[in-house]
């Protein structure tokens, strides 16, 4: 943590704006103005001629003081300053407030640093602001929203979260509040227009709105407007599936403007007209055959919204969220020319430089641009991600100076291929940082609009993204998301649980990026049930995270528990339950192949987890007397293609049953010992075979350098009714092999299975290769024996070696664990580790995103030393990458890899095919399902002994998440082998 972040994090007792400079304290500290305390509340003074939205916000601030002190502040609107017994907050907008202007003219405040700026404010403790007052806190805004943000900055500092209503974060009670003898300037924001798109709002949000408001009216939208402004955002695309913002309630438009919200419409709704209004177009929505009808429709939208602050959506698509079947690039140029002429005419301006306009290059629309369509320079190009958080295109070097600039349309929710994801949060914040940091550095910073679906379940990713949009200077460090999470958790839940909560949500992001809930149904199950203990380890990680979240929840007071449940415990608990359903359904099928009694236990667990899922939904809906009833109405179990099913359904499971004679039908397939041979089952990692019925499987080899997360075990279980005592022993000449547990009792009524861990005392084991016989035996009526082979490879690396050690024919590397960085001295790029990124640990990428193309060898590289016990011909390196795009069509993403000595040839890899906008790369579907692009390259022969794997990112935007060298022993899995052991480091 850098010194600036460290200093602000020391203010953990103050829930101030995340990362911003604090101007308030909760003890006197020897100076400052007491704004609140026992019998003390502030008087907030404004000019009665200031913006109505500013005065409305001041009333919010007065109420916020009441939320933390027990008594509201007082509001005074006046044209002149006068003393009174209450401490003063003087707030206003330069040029709209005579009070602020008088302080400027008298030299009490200097606004030269903010005057004329966009959405900027000065907060300062001013001495002798008027006769009879020794000091007052002054908030001066450069414009309407500048003042509003200054007021809400005070709200957040005193302990009222921007999410106090939407996430029920309890205000932090205060006994006293002081304005410190300091000043600060905030703004302009890093991104000019920052906001959200309420989309895919059925069933959850719509059912909730209908139950609470009757329709999407001004009472509902006022809550959204306030949330945006408290988060220092300013821009909104309203719901569009079956709604018409301006018609659903005629007060929606003027109220948005009064609040200070810039209204827009989605990529498919030009000129402030809702998609559901297109039915009123006489003659149909077709530029070619009904140009006049379409023109009239568009002009009416401008006429209606001309008096309200609007960011105009230009262009044209088909009906709904669909491509037009007939529109050509030439016609689209005509459409935009007409739209701009209409804006000039209706708004009464000849120059559109002060009229914000954007054209969203979403889906097929990007193809028009790629085809060479001429777009006026004063229109903001709104580039889009792929609907799954991977930005497809950003400004090239010759586009960064466009007058209209550029922006990004980014999804935290989506309906479409490969699957809808609209239930709860499935966003990894570190990935969001990587993508939005790249966008900002590459000059896409005029508009950021986030598709947040129903809004309610996405408090965390939206809050994070809006914090970035407001002040990117706080996010220059690749580890800044971890810091932000701690500050967020401090504000919402308190300093005592901040570290634990931040860790929980960082872990959540790492687990959910592996596979979204809606994609877990695919068969075979993506996490391996036979190799690397992958399926069970993944589920165990969810269980561990849930235990941690429950522990934090239990430590909180009841009011804070509610907000913690909504934003932390619910996604962890609900998510773990869905993961359990699909993991245990997969294990059910695996166990059925082996005839385990536990097959039925897994089937029962799936059913029980399905019931728990329903109970979790009910628990959410019953919070606070049903405040959020319907918000979890979204179906999320039983997907079979992109669209959600009609209702939740569980995956199918199998059951095995007793034959009544002590055995299972068909088990064992080839009994060797009569009925007594049927009850015992033994299986090992890497195989579906079951001894003693099948040919006895061999255990996977063991050596002293196995990956820390790898372990050798065997499973012992019942396969029919009855019980038995078991023991596990090694051959008499192998006392250095031990088992835990070495004996036990199993029964079909439970416990019906046991996992036995195998350990080796390598100091006592013979050097080199050997094989140990392992025997599992039972006694009594169920007497049976299974004998398995355990290969051992007792070998040693040189004492002076430092690096990764091959085990089982594989070297698995987390890319942040390099041995050395090479080359690139004096260059324009360097590698950075992004913590808690990717599917397993961290990501490595080249920064800054504006760096030039690099060359293997000359440019910065990463070296990973490893030791191989056996050489391998034509070895393969698999690189796991983030599923990124070629954001510059003239510079394809590329990396290079080499294995061996310095002379080893570097293989250049261009992992993403170049396609026109609107057309996805051929591997896109699989890579976004998997949360990773997996690319394998043959690197030639690898010699025994010391080696080095070298990796170069040749273009910024390449994100390494894992590297695996296959020397002949990599087994099939989803995440790849766990990271290899490192020695001497």
CATH of the domain at 613: 1.20.58.2150
Joined together, the tokens standing for residue 617 give 């939904």
What does the longest C-alpha to C-alpha distance in the chain come to? 105
Joined together, the tokens standing for residue 4 give 């600036």
910 and 776 belong to one structural domain: no
Task: Give the separation between CA 373 and CA 384, rounded to whole angstroms.
Answer: 17
- Number of Cβ within a 10 Å radius of residue 743: 13
Of the residues 451, 485, 508, the one at which a domain ends: 508
The pLDDT value given to residue 918: 87
115 and 147 belong to one structural domain: yes
Residues 6 or more apart whose CB falls under 8 angstroms from that of 214 comprise: none
500 and 524 belong to one structural domain: no
Joined together, the tokens standing for residue 91 give 């707030």
The mean pLDDT value for 88-102 works out to 98
Identify whether 126 is part of a domain: yes
Tell me the per-residue pLDDT of 574-628, one tens digit each, with 9 for 90 and over: 999 999 999 999 999 999 999 999 999 999 999 999 999 999 999 999 999 999 9
Joined together, the tokens standing for residue 754 give 């046991």
Round the average pLDDT of the chain to a whole number and report it: 94
The pLDDT value given to residue 782: 80
The pLDDT value given to residue 695: 74
CATH of the domain at 884: 2.60.120.1620
Task: Give the separation between CA 53 and CA 70, rounded to whole angstroms.
Answer: 25
Identify whether 658 is part of a domain: no
Tell me the per-residue pLDDT of 786-802, one tens digit each, with 9 for 90 and over: 999 999 999 999 999 99
- For tokens 């050997």, the residue is 770
Straight-line distance from the first to the last Cα atom of the chain, in angstroms, rounded to the nearest whole number:
23
Task: Give the separation between CA 357 and CA 380, rounded to whole angstroms.
Answer: 6
- DSSP class of residue 882? -
CA 808 from chain centre, in angstroms, equals 34
Identify whether 654 is part of a domain: no
Q: Tell me the Ramachandran region of residue 506: left when phi exceeds 0, alpha when psi lies from -120 to 50, beta otherwise.
A: alpha
- Number of Cβ within a 10 Å radius of residue 71: 14
Tell me the per-residue pLDDT of 433-467, one tens digit each, with 9 for 90 and over: 999 999 999 999 999 999 999 999 999 999 999 99
Identify whether 642 is part of a domain: no
The pLDDT value given to residue 455: 98
The mean pLDDT value for 912-933 works out to 96
Tell me the per-residue pLDDT of 690-744, one tens digit each, with 9 for 90 and over: 999 777 789 999 999 999 999 999 999 999 999 999 999 999 999 999 999 999 9
The mean pLDDT value for 19-45 works out to 90
The pLDDT value given to residue 658: 52
Task: Give the separation between CA 265 and CA 271, rounded to whole angstroms.
Answer: 8
Characterize 132-171 residue by residue with b for buried, 16 or more Cβ atoms within 10 angstroms of its Cβ, and e for exposed. Answer: ebebbbbbbbbbbbbbbbbbbbbbbbbbbbbbbebbbbbb
| In the predicted structure, residue 664 carries a pLDDT above the cut 60 | no
The pLDDT value given to residue 250: 98
Tell me the per-residue pLDDT of 499-548, one tens digit each, with 9 for 90 and over: 999 999 999 999 999 999 999 999 999 999 999 999 999 999 999 999 99
Closest CA to 467 of 451, 444, 443, 483: 483
601 and 746 belong to one structural domain: no
What is the band of 953 on the pLDDT scale with cuts at 50, 70, 90? very high
| In the predicted structure, residue 361 carries a pLDDT above the cut 50 | yes
Of the residues 162, 186, 210, the one at which a domain ends: 186
The mean pLDDT value for 753-764 works out to 98
The pLDDT value given to residue 479: 97
| In the predicted structure, residue 660 carries a pLDDT above the cut 80 | no
Closest CA to 521 of 647, 646, 637: 637
Domains in the chain, number: 5
What is the band of 16 on the pLDDT scale with cuts at 50, 70, 90? low
The mean pLDDT value for 79-108 works out to 95
Taking a C-beta distance cutoff of 8 angstroms, is the pair 420, 643 a contact?
Answer: yes
What is the band of 28 on the pLDDT scale with cuts at 50, 70, 90? confident
CATH of the domain at 109: 3.30.379.10
Identify whether 645 is part of a domain: no
What is the band of 773 on the pLDDT scale with cuts at 50, 70, 90? very high
Task: Give the separation between CA 10 and CA 22, rounded to whole angstroms.
Answer: 11
What is the band of 2 on the pLDDT scale with cuts at 50, 70, 90? very low
Task: Give the separation between CA 195 and CA 229, rounded to whole angstroms.
Answer: 10
Closest CA to 136 of 76, 186, 187, 50: 76
140 and 198 belong to one structural domain: no
C-alpha dist (Å) from residue 839 to 59, 508, 509, 880: 46, 11, 9, 9
Sign of CA dihedral 924, 930, 935, 936: negative
> What is the extent of the structural domain holding 197?
193-508
> What percentage of the chain exceeds 70 in pLDDT?
96
Task: Give the separation between CA 230 and CA 412, rounded to whole angstroms.
Answer: 20
850 and 873 belong to one structural domain: yes
736 and 849 belong to one structural domain: no
- For tokens 């009464």, the residue is 348
- Three-point CA angle 424, 548, 832, nearest 5°: 75
Q: Residue length, the chain?
A: 985
The pLDDT value given to residue 913: 96
> What percentage of the chain exceeds 90 in pLDDT?
91
Half-sphere exposure of 366 (CA within 13 A, CB side): 22
| In the predicted structure, residue 672 carries a pLDDT above the cut 80 | no
The pLDDT value given to residue 169: 98
| In the predicted structure, residue 903 carries a pLDDT above the cut 90 | no
pTM of the model: 0.95
The mean pLDDT value for 415-430 works out to 98
Full 3-state SS string of 591-626: HHHHCCCHHHHHHHHHHHHHHHHHHHHHHHHCHHHC
Of the residues 466, 492, 508, the one at which a domain ends: 508
- For tokens 């990692």, the residue is 685
The pLDDT value given to residue 826: 73
Query: Phi, psi at residue 315, to the nearest 5°?
Result: 95, -165
Listing DSSP states for 639-681 in one string gives --SSSPPSS--PPP-------SSSSBTTBSSS-SBTBTTTSEE
884 and 920 belong to one structural domain: yes
69 and 90 belong to one structural domain: yes
| In the predicted structure, residue 13 carries a pLDDT above the cut 50 | no
The pLDDT value given to residue 694: 78
The pLDDT value given to residue 281: 87
Q: Are strands 959-966 and 235-237 parallel, antiparallel or unpaired?
A: unpaired
CATH of the domain at 286: 3.20.20.520
Identify whether 393 is part of a domain: yes
112 and 8 belong to one structural domain: yes
| In the predicted structure, residue 823 carries a pLDDT above the cut 90 | no
- For tokens 């992109």, the residue is 642
Tell me the per-residue pLDDT of 336-353, one tens digit each, with 9 for 90 and over: 999 999 999 999 999 999
307 and 353 belong to one structural domain: yes
The pLDDT value given to residue 187: 96
- Number of Cβ within a 10 Å radius of residue 919: 14
SS3 806: coil
Task: Give the separation between CA 418 and CA 416, rounded to whole angstroms.
Answer: 6
Identify whether 666 is part of a domain: no
Identify whether 651 is part of a domain: no
What is the band of 780 on the pLDDT scale with cuts at 50, 70, 90? confident
Sign of CA dihedral 267, 271, 272, 273: negative
**Helices 498-512/570-594 angle, 10° precision:** 50
209 and 350 belong to one structural domain: yes
| In the predicted structure, residue 77 carries a pLDDT above the cut 60 | yes
Sign of CA dihedral 287, 289, 295, 300: negative
């Amino acid at each position: 943590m850098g010194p600036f972040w460290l200093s602000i994090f020391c203010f953990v007792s103050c829930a101030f704006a995340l990362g911003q400079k604090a101007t308030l304290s909760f003890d006197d500290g020897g100076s400052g103005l007491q704004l609140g305390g026992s019998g003390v509340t502030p008087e907030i003074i404004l000019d009665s001629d200031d913006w109505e939205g500013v005065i409305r916000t001041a009333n919010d601030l007065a109420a916020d003081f009441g939320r933390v002190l027990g008594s509201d502040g007082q509001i005074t609107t006046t044209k002149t300053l006068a003393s009174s017994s209450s401490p003063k907050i003087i707030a206003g907008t330069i040029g709209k407030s005579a009070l602020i202007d008088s302080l400027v003219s008298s030299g009490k405040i200097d606004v030269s640093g903010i005057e004329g700026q966009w959405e900027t404010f000065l907060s300062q403790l001013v001495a002798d602001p008027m006769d009879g007052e020794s000091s007052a806190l002054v908030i001066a805004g450069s414009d309407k929203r500048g003042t509003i943000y200054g007021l809400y900055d005070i709200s957040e500092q005193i302990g009222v979260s921007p999410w106090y209503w939407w996430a029920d974060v309890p205000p932090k009670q205060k006994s006293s509040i002081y304005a410190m003898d300091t000043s600060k300037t905030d703004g302009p924001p890093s991104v000019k227009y920052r906001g959200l798109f309420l989309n895919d709002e059925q069933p959850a949000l719509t059912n909730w709105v209908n139950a609470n408001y009757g329709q999407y009216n001004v009472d509902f939208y006022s809550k959204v407007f306030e949330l945006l402004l408290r988060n220092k955002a300013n821009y909104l695309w309203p719901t569009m599936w079956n709604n018409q913002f301006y018609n659903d309630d005629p007060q929606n438009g003027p109220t948005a403007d009064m609040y200070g919200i810039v209204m827009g419409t989605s990529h498919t709704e030009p000129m402030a007209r809702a998609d559901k209004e297109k039915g009123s177009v006489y003659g149909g929505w077709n530029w070619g055959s009904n140009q006049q009808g379409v023109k009239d429709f568009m002009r009416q939208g401008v006429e209606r919204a001309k008096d309200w602050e609007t960011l105009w959506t230009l262009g044209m698509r088909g009906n709904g969220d669909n491509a037009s079947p007939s529109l050509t690039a030439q016609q689209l140029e005509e459409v935009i020319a007409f739209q701009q002429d209409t804006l000039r005419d209706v708004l009464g301006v000849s120059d559109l430089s002060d009229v914000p306009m954007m054209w969203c290059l979403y889906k097929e629309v990007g193809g028009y641009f790629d085809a060479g369509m001429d777009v006026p320079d004063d229109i903001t190009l709104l580039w889009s991600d792929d609907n799954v958080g991977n930005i497809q295109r950003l400004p090239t070097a010759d586009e960064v100076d466009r007058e209209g600039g550029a922006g990004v349309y980014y999804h935290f929710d989506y309906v479409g291929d490969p699957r809808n994801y609209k239930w709860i949060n499935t966003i990894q914040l570190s990935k969001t940082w990587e993508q939005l940091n790249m966008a900002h550095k590459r000059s896409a910073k005029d508009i950021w609009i986030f598709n947040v679906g129903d809004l309610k379940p996405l408090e965390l990713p939206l809050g994070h993204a809006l914090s970035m949009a407001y002040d990117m200077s706080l996010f220059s460090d690749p580890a800044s998301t971890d810091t932000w999470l701690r500050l967020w958790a401090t504000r919402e839940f308190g300093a005592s649980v901040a570290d634990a909560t931040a860790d929980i949500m960082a872990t959540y992001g790492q687990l959910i990026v592996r596979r979204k809930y809606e994609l877990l149904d695919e068969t075979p199950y993506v996490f391996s049930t036979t190799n690397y203990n992958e399926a069970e380890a993944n589920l165990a990680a969810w269980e561990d995270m849930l235990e941690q979240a429950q522990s934090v929840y239990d430590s909180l007071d009841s009011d804070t528990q509610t907000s913690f449940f909504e934003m932390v415990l619910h996604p962890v608990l609900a998510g773990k339950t869905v993961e359990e359903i699909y993991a245990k359904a997969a294990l059910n099928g695996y166990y059925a192949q082996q005839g385990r009694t536990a097959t039925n236990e897994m089937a029962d667990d799936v059913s029980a987890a399905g019931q728990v899922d329903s109970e979790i939904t009910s628990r959410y809906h019953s919070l606070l007397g049903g405040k959020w009833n319907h918000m979890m109405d979204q179906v999320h179990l039983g997907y079979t293609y992109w669209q959600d099913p009609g209702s939740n359904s569980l995956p199918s499971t199998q059951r095995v049953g007793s034959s009544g004679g002590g055995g299972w039908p068909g088990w064992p397939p080839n009994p060797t010992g009569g009925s007594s041979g049927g009850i015992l089952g033994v299986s090992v990692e890497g195989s579906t075979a079951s001894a003693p019925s099948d040919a006895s499987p061999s255990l996977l080899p063991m050596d002293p350098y196995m990956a820390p997360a790898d372990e050798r075990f065997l499973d012992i279980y019942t396969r029919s009714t009855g019980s038995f005592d078991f023991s596990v022993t090694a051959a008499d000449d192998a006392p250095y092999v031990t088992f835990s547990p070495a004996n036990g009792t199993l029964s079909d009524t439970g416990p019906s299975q046991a996992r036995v861990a195998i350990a080796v005392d390598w100091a006592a084991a013979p050097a080199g290769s050997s094989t140990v016989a392992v025997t599992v035996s039972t006694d009594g009526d169920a007497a049976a024996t299974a004998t398995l082979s355990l290969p051992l490879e007792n070998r040693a690396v040189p004492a002076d070696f430092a690096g990764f050690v091959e085990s089982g024919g594989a070297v698995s590397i987390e890319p942040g664990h390099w041995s050395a960085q090479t080359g690139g001295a004096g260059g324009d790029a360097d590698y950075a580790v992004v913590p808690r990124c990717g599917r397993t640990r961290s990501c490595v990428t080249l920064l800054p995103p504006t760096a030039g193309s690099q060359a293997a060898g000359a440019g910065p590289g990463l070296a990973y030393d490893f030791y191989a016990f056996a050489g391998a011909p034509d070895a393969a390196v698999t690189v796991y990458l983030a599923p990124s795009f070629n954001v510059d069509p003239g510079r394809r993403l590329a990396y290079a890899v080499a294995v061996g000595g310095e002379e080893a040839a570097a293989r250049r890899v261009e992992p993403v095919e170049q396609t026109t906008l609107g057309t996805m790369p051929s591997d896109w579907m699989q890579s976004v399902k998997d949360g990773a692009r997996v690319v394998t390259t043959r690197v030639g022969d690898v010699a025994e002994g010391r080696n080095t794997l070298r990796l170069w990112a040749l273009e910024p935007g390449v994100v390494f998440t894992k590297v695996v060298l296959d020397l002949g022993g990599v087994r099939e899995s989803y995440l790849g082998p766990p990271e290899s052991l490192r020695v001497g480091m």
